[in-house]
Structure 1
Amino acid sequence: MLNYLLDFFIGLGIGFIAGLLGVGGGFLIVPTLVLLGEPIHLAIGTSLACITISALASAYTHLRRGAVLFKVVLIKEAFSVPFAIIGAYLSAVTPERALRLIFAVLLLYLAYTLIRSRGKCHGETAGDVNYLRVPIVGILAGLTSGLLGISGGVLNVPLFHTFVGIPMRYAVGTSSLSLFFTALAGTIAHYRLGQVDIHMALLLAPGLIVGAHYGALTVHRVEPSLIRRLFAVLLVIIALKMLL
């Protein structure tokens, strides 16, 4: 019974962060699963299955708030889905250290751009969106999701906001729906490789669903500038973890 409660609260915490920031929570799920005894490749595949669950729960809440840009999702996923599948297969043959270094540097740069973006894309409604840049976000997020089992949302949100020009709340909501499709594609690829622990994913699912729902609600109750600062801190923490 205690184990089930522990799984629920782990899922609850990860789900809340996922819903609040528009990320899948893979940066927390993967190390948690490894600590629980899962091999790294199995942890990555299972992480993507968990991200699929949390992303769907938070996306539903954002959809009800009208904070999802469907055109951005469609364009991005046309590139993210195939590159997530490619990334999943490349993960078995690509040196992990090189991937972590490149990814950490990118995250630190994105954290810097988020902090510097003060006053930009500040409104509550979606204004001018540079759709020509969305495919670049799709490629980067898809490869990242498949290669490292870390949600593409870690890249989606800061790139949507600073690179594509989407207001922060819309960036979070749009990222949540995008994550569902990207993570689902990666999950299927890892499942075919025998790298998904369905039992563990189902144990974490209730907490992930509840946490993601309340995290998504919180997005619409706080200032966008606070979300931006929290996301910048999150990127720095993940980058340092990657480097160390």
Structure 2
Amino acid sequence: MISYFIDFILGLGIGFIAGLLGVGGGFLIVPTLVLLGEPIHLAIGTSLACITISALASAYTHLRRGAVLFKVVLIKEAFSVPFAIIGAYLSAVTPERALRLIFAGLLLYLTYTLLRSGGKSLQESAGEVNYLRVPIVGILAGLTSGLLGISGGILNVPLFHTYVGIPMRYSVGTSSLSLLFTALAGTIAHYRLEQVDVNMVLLLAPGLMLGAHYGALTVHRVEPSLIRRLFAVLLVIIALKMLL
């Protein structure tokens, strides 16, 4: 009984962060599963399945709030998917240390742009979005995902907000729906390779769904400036992890 409660709390916490910031949560799920004794490949596949669940719950909540830009999702994913495949092949011929340095540098730059941006409110028109810049986000997120084997969500939100010009809450909501498709595709591939621990996914699922739902609701109840600061802290932590 205690182990079930721990799994629920774990899923609740990861789901809340995923729903609040529009990220997959894989950077938390994978190391946690490895610490629990899962082989790394099984942990990655299981993580993607968990991300699919949390992204579904948070995306549904954001959709009900009208905070998802479908055109952005379609354009971004059209570029992310093929470049994720290209990134996977490039990873085989690129030194890992160089990849980590480049990615950490990009995250620190995005932290700077997030903190200096004035932010935009939810009431601003989505018509101000620069759709011509969305393919660049798709390319960067896809390449990063393929090269480093991580969710592109960590790039989606800051790039949507600072580069494409999407209000912060829309950035989080749009990222959540985008992650759903990416994670689902990865989950199917890993499931066929028998690299998904279905039992673990089922144990974490209730907490993930509930946490992601309330995390997504919280986005619409706090100031965008607070979300930017939280995301900036997250970017710095991941950048330092990459460097160390």
Question: TM-score scaled by structure 2?
Answer: 0.91
1:203 pairs with 2:189: no
The structural deviation recorded for 1:7 is 1.1
Q: Distance in 2 between matches of 1:201 and 1:148?
A: 23
Q: Distance in 1 between matches of 2:89 and 2:137?
A: 20
Kept in 2, the 8 Å contact 1:85–1:185? The answer is no
Alignment-derived partner of residue 123 in structure 2: 124
Q: Which amino acid aligns with 1:20?
A: L
Kept in 2, the 8 Å contact 1:84–1:186? The answer is no
Task: For structure 1, list consecutive stretches of 5 or more residues without a partner in the other structure.
Answer: none
Alignment-derived partner of residue 43 in structure 1: 43
Q: Distance in 2 between matches of 1:42 and 1:101?
A: 27
SS at match of 1:228: helix
Q: Deviation per CA, 1:217-236: give whole Å up to 9, x if none.
A: 00000001111111111100
Structure-2 change in CA distance of 1:76 and 1:181 (3 Å) = same
Matches within 5 A, 1:89-108: 96-108=96-108
Alignment-derived partner of residue 18 in structure 2: 18
Alignment-derived partner of residue 57 in structure 2: 57
The structural deviation recorded for 1:198 is 2.4
Kept in 2, the 8 Å contact 1:72–1:174? The answer is yes
Structure-2 change in CA distance of 1:62 and 1:110 (3 Å) = same
Kept in 2, the 8 Å contact 1:45–1:149? The answer is no
Q: Distance in 2 between matches of 1:19 and 1:40?
A: 25
Structure-2 change in CA distance of 1:115 and 1:224 (3 Å) = same
The structural deviation recorded for 1:164 is 0.5
Structure-2 change in CA distance of 1:7 and 1:87 (3 Å) = farther
Alignment-derived partner of residue 238 in structure 1: 238
Alignment-derived partner of residue 110 in structure 2: 110
Q: Which amino acid aligns with 1:190?
A: H
Question: TM-score scaled by structure 1?
Answer: 0.91
The structural deviation recorded for 1:110 is 0.8
Alignment-derived partner of residue 66 in structure 1: 66
Q: Deviation per CA, 1:186-210: give whole Å up to 9, x if none.
A: 2223334443222222221111100
Q: Percent identity?
A: 89
Alignment-derived partner of residue 216 in structure 1: 216
Count of equivalent residues: 243
